[in-house]
Amino acid sequence: MHAILPLQGIIVIELGSSIAAPFAGLILGEMGAEVIKVEHPDGGDAARTWGPNGTNAYSLLFETFNRNKKSITVDFANEERRARLRGLILERADVVLQNLRPGVVEQFGLGGDALLAEKPSLVYCNLGAFGKLGPLSHLPGYDPLMQAFTGMCHVTGPEHGEACRLGVPVNDMGTGMWAAMGILAKLLTRKDSGKGGLVDVALFETAMTWMAIPMASVMTTGESPGRYGTRGPGVLAPNRGYDASDGVILITAGTNYQFRKLCAVLRHPEWAEDERFKTPMLRLRNEAAMSRMIGEIIRTQPRVYWMEELDRKEVPNAPIHTPAEAFNHPQTQASGLIQGAADGASPQIALPLKFDHMRLPYRHRAPHLGEHNDVLR
């Protein structure tokens, strides 16, 4: 086994579409598992058509979440093809993961209980919307709906503006991460017991976990926290974006030591002794006045000036970049996160994970629809 392919030899069947299950499959595939993606012959995963195309005539989004996989096509209504898929699972699969609409896999005899009854060593993962319990458990769901439902939109956006969606699918990708962790845990315990079992994750539950801090506020005060823009939740100050002469820089100085250093950079060391700002709680209580004072000075110079000054004094800071600025930054380019496949596919962002100082390899482009149908023959 290659040192950085710890799941080599593990067979994963992915009955997934969109982002959540495909991201879980991607994580397992990057670690060396053979991931066989099952798609409907009429168009396959809907994500194949979402957004602009990459280098292989399907969308960049599909390429992003489906590299290092194989694709087979099965119409569940076709009894013969469904039987072949079932046979493949029972004969070869270590893991099945699915995020189809509630009830679909059970309807066609591909649910976890049915397959585990015949193959107890199987690890079967359900990625649902609302989970197995509750009045909404029968409903499908999508990332933006969960952002709205759990209050995530309510705490996101300008301080005095409207609620906003996050710019990335945090619930889809987060649920995929939880699925991968659950699957890995089950594979680990299977080594001793020989038994697999069920793993259940849900977009709603992932979103509620991301909302742990706002929910702690609700449980403590009975009230919902508001939106803070770049100021962030009210736990420390200063902790917000400030307008420099050429853009916004975010400064976080939550300790007395950091605040003293910040005051020195701003050429106002006396602020650290101001009765309004002597402790973290006082700074939080007087955040508006303090930030006006800081902002008046920050706006006099460009971001790079303040970054150099603040870095020299070890005051945490970062410019608010565009995605293009972040992509082209020397740190990104030096990190090895941007990978290209040997078969000429579009470059991808690698997983943020290394084994023995080595990053997981990008081995194969995302598959064409049904490219590996010979697996079922």
**Number of other CB atoms surrounding residue 295 within 10 Å:** 15
pLDDT of residue 228: 84
Looking at the chain, the whole-number percentage of residues with pLDDT higher than 90 is 82
What is the pLDDT averaged over residues 13-17?
A: 95
**Structural domains in the chain?**
11-210+336-376 (3.40.50.10540), 230-320 (3.30.1540.10)
Across the chain, what does the average pLDDT equal?
93
Please determine, for residue 31, whether its predicted confidence score (pLDDT) is greater than 70: yes
Q: What is the pLDDT of residues 65-119, one digit of tens each?
A: 999 999 999 999 999 999 999 999 999 999 999 999 999 999 999 999 999 999 9
Q: What is the pLDDT of residues 108-164, one digit of tens each?
A: 999 999 999 999 999 999 999 999 999 999 998 899 999 999 999 999 999 889 999
Cis peptide, bond prior to residue 238, ω within 30 of zero: yes
Please determine, for residue 204, whether its predicted confidence score (pLDDT) is greater than 80: yes
The reported pTM is 0.92
- The answer to whether the Cα torsion of 283, 288, 293, 299 is positive or negative is positive
DSSP state of 122: -
- Tokens 């992915």 — which residue? 14
What is the pLDDT averaged over residues 305-311?
A: 97
Q: How far apart are CA 146 and CA 153, in angstroms?
A: 9
Looking from the CA of 91 toward its CB, the CA atoms found within 13 Å total: 8
pLDDT of residue 1: 44
Among 275, 295, 296, which Cα is nearest to 286's?
275
CA 108-110-113 angle, to 5 degrees, is: 120
Q: What is the pLDDT of residues 49-63, one digit of tens each?
A: 998 887 777 888 999
Q: What is the pLDDT of residues 246-273, one digit of tens each?
A: 999 999 998 999 999 999 999 999 999 9
Looking at the chain, the whole-number percentage of residues with pLDDT higher than 70 is 98
pLDDT of residue 342: 64
pLDDT of residue 370: 95
Please determine, for residue 231, whether its predicted confidence score (pLDDT) is greater than 90: no
pLDDT of residue 6: 94
Q: What is the pLDDT of residues 240-250, one digit of tens each?
A: 999 999 999 99
pLDDT of residue 254: 87
CA 199-72-170 angle, to 5 degrees, is: 45
The SS3 assignment for 229 reads helix
